[in-house]
Amino acid sequence: MELSFLMWLATLLPPAQAEPLCLATTVYLEARDQSELGQRAVAEVALRRRDSGMWGDDVCAVVKAPKQFAPTLVPPSTRLRNLEAWEEAVAVAFAAQKEWNRPRAERREVVPGASHFAAMRIANPSWASYPQVAVIDDHTFFHVNRLKPRDEPAADATTVGGSR
């Protein structure tokens, strides 16, 4: 399978079917050589970002936001050759979405509050000095942005007219 085909296919599907495809593609590209826990952590960052709305309103928009996740960082002609890793990424994506759909208080989060991650052996992002949430396999997870779900008011939100 080619990355460009998967991303094109996602544009044809309703969001409910496209989201796991985009999430699985991202998990595969970012963490196919990592443990299941590391793959779940990558999926969790994408889901947390989706909920915040800062990078897009659905998982596909989030993972295709410029220079955020592998689908925009690798050539569109990249082939997903490892069928076993693809099957695992699909399973992880569905499991992560199922877990993420639970009430917030009941979720078993792998990297609570993590909004970013990087493979520090090959990257040196500008936000690497932010608090680390966890190191899982080759990825370090960071709390860079305080991502609040759109349905949860921010603590410093102002009301109409600018009063607090």
For 2-50, write each residue's pLDDT tens digit. Answer: 999 999 999 999 988 999 999 999 999 999 999 999 999 999 999 999 9
Alpha-carbon Rg for the chain in angstroms? 16
Number of domains in the chain: 1
Q: Is the overall model pTM greater than 0.85, yes or no?
A: yes
Whether 55 contacts 62, CB under 8 Å:
yes
3 state SS for the chain: CEHHHHHHHHHHCCHHHHHHHHHHHHHHHHHCCCCHHHHHHHHHHHHHHHHHCCCCCCHHHHHCCCCCCHHHHCCCCCECCCHHHHHHHHHHHHHHHHHHCCCHHHCCCCCCCCCEEECCCCCCCCCCCCCEEEEECCEEEECCCCCCCCCCCCCCCCCCCCCC
Residue 164 falls inside a structural domain: no
Whether 148 contacts 52, CB under 8 Å:
yes
Residue 13 falls inside a structural domain: yes
Residue 85 falls inside a structural domain: yes
From the centroid of its chain, how far is CA 78?
19
For 69-120, write each residue's pLDDT tens digit. Answer: 999 999 999 999 999 999 999 999 999 999 999 999 999 999 999 999 999 9
Residue 141 falls inside a structural domain: no
Alpha-carbon gap, residue 41 to 47, rounded angstroms:
10
State which residues form the domain around 24: 3-108
